[in-house]
Amino acid sequence: MPKDELKAEFRLVGTRPNRPDGLDKVTGRARYGADATLPGMLWGAVVRSPHAHAKIVKIDASKALALDGVKAVVTRADLPTGLTGEDWNLQENTLAGEKALYDGHAVAAVAATSRLLAEEAARLVEVTYEVLPHVIDVDDAIRPDAPVIREGAADASVPPGMPPNVVRYLDFGRGDIDAGFAAADLVREQTYKTEATHQGYIEPHACVGQLGADGKGEMWVCTQGQWYIRKMCSAVLGLEAAQLRVTPSEIGGGFGGKTTIFMEPLSLALSRKAGGRPVKIVMSRSEVLRATGPTASASMDVKIGMKKDGTITAGRAEFRMQGGAFPGSPVAEGLYCAFAPYAIPALQHIGYDVLANRPKCAAYRAPGSPMGAFAVESLIDEMCRELGLDPMAVRLKNAVREGDTASYGATFGSIGLIETLEATAAHPNLAVPLGPNQGRGIASGFWFNHAGETSVTLAIGEDGTATVSVGTPDIGGSRASIALMTAETLGIRYEDVRVNIVETGALGVNEPTHGSRATFASGKAAVIAAEAAIREMCNRAAAEWGIEPEAVEWVQGAAQPAGPNAGKFPPMSIAEIASKMGGTGGPISGHHESVPDGFGASFGAHVVDVEVDPETGRTTVLRYLVVQDAGRAIHPAYVEGQYQGGAAQGIGWALNEEYIYGKDGRLQNTVFLDYRIPVASDLPPIDTVIVEVPNPGHPYGVRGVGETGITPPLPAIANAIHAATGVRLRHLPMTPPKILAAMKTKG
Amino acid sequence: MSRIHVTTTVNGDTVEFLADPRETLLDCLRDHVGLTGSKEGCGTGDCGACSVRLDGTLVCSCLVLGVEAQGRTVETIEGMATGGELHPLQRKFIEHAALQCGFCTPGILVAAKALLEKNANPTDTEIRYWLAGNLCRCTGYDKIIRAVQDAAAEMRGAA
Ligand code: FES
Ligand code: FES
């Protein structure tokens, strides 16, 4: 559909009503992962390895089991054998087998009648380890003589002769890379590093699992995807998916980190051993930081060729990422995104996925993209300065447009990068004069977005209201946006739609709320389901009027004859049709399931002003601007919220957050005091501009907006710090001591 | 460990529970009193999700022992709306979209209410420093600050 065929005038889309779950969430009534209690419930606790890499010689749980009130202990011996591929990885991460692979790796779990008792029992489980050499840093882990995390973990992409911890290798590109660099006036190559950070959701992982000897089970859990929980727990425990019913709680943040399993299978395994009593497990913050998905750390070489006028002639990226002791770092995504905003004729990408003795990485908002952007957007800024070019003009000059082949091979459909950059350049923040020790940085960012398996059902109530059942947990206001689109389509009030996030038994398989897909995919499916219900309501009206269904149209929430030839009948409202549906053919509903096509990519650009204290090296963020293409903002306040939240996480990653390991391979910062995420007094107001280049693949033009926003802050802040101080930091986070040292060296 | 009988007032109601002396006030509220609106984000006093008032003082209930509540007055998020009427802060948080996941929200509302009782007309900076002990990972705080300001303005107007 061409852009101009999309409707642009709406009754509800684009308004900012109160979210449907707002009342529950401001009164403490909303029930999150740890808020459920069941009759006969036990508490679980997990025994974790204190070593980064160790052989498990013996597990002796006799002392724990001797405690009054301890009902079950589970070790790897209780789980099925013979799993392969990612199922094996998930099982090995759930409970260590022969070796503990990182500090915090689960080795056993206990269930007891109280939380305190379970914790005490966990301390009494005696594990004998034989400590092995470990490796933490990605550049150490890729050395040929590094301690080997696991033999045989490499996939077929890895050519023979590679270092032993390389498990995946990528090599792709286009054009003549040597000719590209030869055509440039300036060629620069630099190495950049980013450290692992945690998603930092404030709600720790929590679940209540129940599993009987008959293999039937239930689970209450905070997750981004109840079907993923079902699939993964079933695989790890050897259950049948249909026998496990997973109900998602309200979710206290996820950012990708709650798209997989950690202790969930343990609660089920403990329950089964404890005679089917439900088992609740709530992680501590230290467990969250030590054992749940941080993101990867990255070491990246980038080489770019640029002409004097700013035209980029060639780009080369070689990324090494470790995603913990298992394959799965987002090195591919990092490479795909790195040059995505630029139309560059010659490109080469090389990637290494490397194992290290760290927790299995999980998705974190635009996985891989922030790292790649840090390297590429920083180097482009460095080269613009060297050539005396305006970094905004260079980004515009090289920007990709509709129809261009993306750096990663796809063809861009309708995209809004140019519009985004132009809106950025026009923003008043760029005209604010800067004082001494202050600097301004800009950067752009990209995320593909995603559609994913989606199943939605809409049912018309007896009074003409509508219930929408969706499978994507609401992390940031998606109930509101789905209700708006549904009400808009049906022609009823926003308040007359209720959106429920349902359990796994209620719909076909849904992928999680991930990839920025909930408002796009569940929203699109809800609109199609509403259209199906509308068709049925038109049928009912047609039957009553004795005219053809094709002669009935749906206008403002009512069926009416389409034109003068169809007959003369007063409009029949949705309430009227619904009130008699029992007698006119039964319930009216609409359903849609698919992997929706047409998700559109989202580009963003950020501008940040910083001040660096020359005495301490401390960076203060003075002003922050996010400009991003939303396609169409269904509920603009929650779109802004995504932009602001992504920027805040990126600011934390840029300036402060990192996983810090001791020489013993143990994580040093395992509480929020030490793993410090941005607090309110660290941040300025975050200004936002929503650019709307409608996505023709969605009935209301939506693009996902959740992820792009975490990408530009890393390079934008590095660029701003350089502008303020003249020093270039190529290793995150840009902490005061690092900045100070760099300023001293520069003199 | 033998449990201790505790009698306390929570949101105006007298409640009794048996507390293990190692249990925090947060554990007791959530697991014994059945008030799960106060959240545990860290258990170490770093996130503020567990914020409650103890005899009027804003505290992290994860840093207070349950037995310390004996004979005292506790106010939690569940008591913030009175007689079915939301507190202006609660209303403004919804109106300004000052919550995404909502997990930090109970603690932030309890803390913000304590601020506005002390200082009816705070600056943005004062709000940001007052709430510096309440972590929010979703919002970037921008809309939270706006919501608190708007509630403060309304409360000043109403006074
Ligand atoms: S749970 Fe009490 S401060 Fe975090
Ligand atoms: S709204 Fe999610 S932590 Fe604040």
Q: Does the beta-carbon distance from A28 to B38 stay under 8 Å?
A: yes
pLDDT tens digits, residue range A92-126? Answer: 999 999 999 999 999 999 999 999 999 999 999 99
Mean pLDDT of A573-599: 97
pLDDT of residue B158: 67
CA A684 from centroid of its chain's CA atoms: 24
pLDDT tens digits, residue range A264-289? Answer: 999 999 999 999 999 999 999 999 99
- Sign, CA dihedral A203-A204-A205-A208, equals negative
Q: Which residues contact A66 (CB under 8 A, 6 or more apart)?
A: none
Q: Which ligand is nearest to the CA of B97?
A: 2
Among A492-501, A555-564, B5-14, the minimum mean pLDDT is found in: A555-564
As a whole number of angstroms, the distance between CA A10 and CA A489 comes to 10
pLDDT tens digits, residue range A662-715? Answer: 999 999 999 999 999 999 999 999 999 999 999 999 999 999 999 999 999 999
The mean of the pLDDT values for chain B is 97
Write down all domains in chain A, each with its CATH number in brackets.
3-29+451-594 (3.30.365.10), 368-449+600-746 (3.30.365.10)
- Nearest CA to A601 among A512, A702, A475? A702
Q: Which residues of A touch B40 (CB under 8 A)?
A: 34, 204, 282
CA A72 from centroid of its chain's CA atoms: 35
pLDDT of residue A8: 73
> Is residue A396 scored above 60 in pLDDT?
yes
Q: Does the beta-carbon distance from B142 to A21 stay under 8 Å?
A: no
A576: closest CA of chain B, how far (Å): 33
Instruction: Name the closest-CA residue to atom 3, ligand 2.
Output: B136
Confidence of residue B85 (pLDDT cuts 50, 70, 90): very high
Q: Which residues of B touch A678 (CB under 8 A)?
A: 140
Classify residue A710 as exposed, middle or buried by CB count within 10 Å of its CB (0-12, 13-18, 19+): buried
Write down all domains in chain B, each with its CATH number in brackets.
4-79 (3.10.20.30), 88-156 (1.10.150.120)
* CB interface of B with A, residues 83-142, below 8 Å: 86, 90-91, 93-97, 99-106, 109, 124-125, 127-129, 131-142
pLDDT of residue B159: 54
- Contact, A607 vs A716, CB < 8 A? yes
Confidence of residue A5 (pLDDT cuts 50, 70, 90): low
Determine what percent of chain A is predicted with pLDDT higher than 70: 99
Q: Kindly give the distance from the C-alpha atom of residue B49 to the centroid of ligand 2, in angstroms, as a whole number.
A: 10
- Nearest CA to A691 among A598, A600, A609? A600
Strands (E), A283-411: 297-306, 312-322, 346-354
Q: Does the beta-carbon distance from A681 to B94 stay under 8 Å?
A: no
Confidence of residue B83 (pLDDT cuts 50, 70, 90): confident
Q: Kindly give the distance from the C-alpha atom of residue B48 to the centroid of ligand 1, in angstroms, as a whole number.
A: 5
Mean pLDDT of A196-211: 98
What are the angstrom distances between the C-alpha of A392 and each of A310, A374, A380, A603, A724?
10, 16, 11, 14, 18
pLDDT of residue A3: 46
Amino acid at B28: C
Q: Residue A439 half-sphere exposure, CB side, CA atoms within 13 Å?
A: 20
Q: Which residues of B touch A200 (CB under 8 A)?
A: 137
pLDDT tens digits, residue range A313-348? Answer: 999 999 999 999 999 999 999 999 999 999 999 999
pLDDT of residue A105: 98
pLDDT tens digits, residue range A344-393? Answer: 999 999 999 999 999 999 999 999 999 999 999 999 999 999 999 999 99
From the list A28, A201, A637, which residue is nearest B106 (CB)? A28
> Is residue B1 scored above 90 in pLDDT?
no
pLDDT of residue B86: 98
Determine what percent of chain A is predicted with pLDDT higher than 90: 97
> Is residue A2 scored above 50 in pLDDT?
no
pLDDT of residue B129: 98
pLDDT of residue B147: 98
pLDDT of residue A4: 46
pTM: 0.97
pLDDT of residue B67: 98
> Is residue A1 scored above 70 in pLDDT?
no
A119: closest CA of chain B, how far (Å): 12
pLDDT of residue A398: 98
B149 in reach of chain A (CB within 8 A): no
What are the angstrom distances between the C-alpha of A492 and each of A467, A468, A554, A693, B107?
12, 14, 12, 27, 36
- Nearest CA to B129 among A682, A647, A648? A682
Mean pLDDT of A403-417: 97
As a whole number of angstroms, the distance between CA A310 and CA A626 comes to 24
A258: closest CA of chain B, how far (Å): 13
Mean pLDDT of A203-229: 98
ipTM above 0.95, yes or no: yes
State phi, psi for A369 to the nearest 5 degrees.
-65, -40
- Nearest CA to A427 among A640, A609, A642, A687? A687
As a whole number of angstroms, the distance between CA A412 and CA A747 comes to 46
pLDDT of residue A441: 98
Q: Which residues contact A237 (CB under 8 A, 6 or more apart)?
A: A79, A80, A211, A265, A268, A269
Nearest atom in ligand 1 to the alpha carbon of residue B62 is 2
Q: Which residues contact A325 (CB under 8 A, 6 or more apart)?
A: A93, A101, A102, A105, A149, A150, A355, A356, A357, A358, A359, A360
Q: Which residues of B touch A32 (CB under 8 A)?
A: 36, 39, 103
